[in-house]
Amino acid sequence: APGDYYIDAVPMSLAEALGRAGGLLEAADLNRIELQRQGKTLHLNLHELYKLGLRPEGIRLRNGDVLNFQTQPSLAGSIGAKP
């Protein structure tokens, strides 16, 4: 579920953060995840990370990190639509 989830003193992985949040919404785009860390935005693509052998369990979050999951683009209304 959307919202703020705080990382305590114990390091938390990306997978653990997803679990605490109740999992991903159906509309979440796993190719467009933003990790904001120390004023920088890192763009993550879970499918590409898996291809490289990296799993969400191995991605450690730090105090102050912010995750943003983008939604998949919707095609509703765009096919055959006339102005």
Give residue-wise pLDDT tens across range 7-54.
665 778 888 887 777 666 676 777 888 889 999 999 989 889 889 998
pLDDT band at 69 (very low <50, low <70, confident <90, very high): confident
Distance (Å, whole) CA 65 – CA 67 = 7
Q: Is the pLDDT of residue 81 over 60?
A: no
pLDDT of residue 46: 85
Token pair for residue 70? 């983008």
Q: Is pLDDT larger for residue 15 or for residue 81?
A: 15
pLDDT of residue 38: 92
pLDDT of residue 24: 66
Q: Is the pTM of this model over 0.85?
A: no
Instruction: Using CB atoms within 10 Å of the CB of residue 79, give its burial: 0 to 12 exposed, 13 to 18 middle, 19+ buried.
Output: exposed
Return the DSSP state at 72.
P
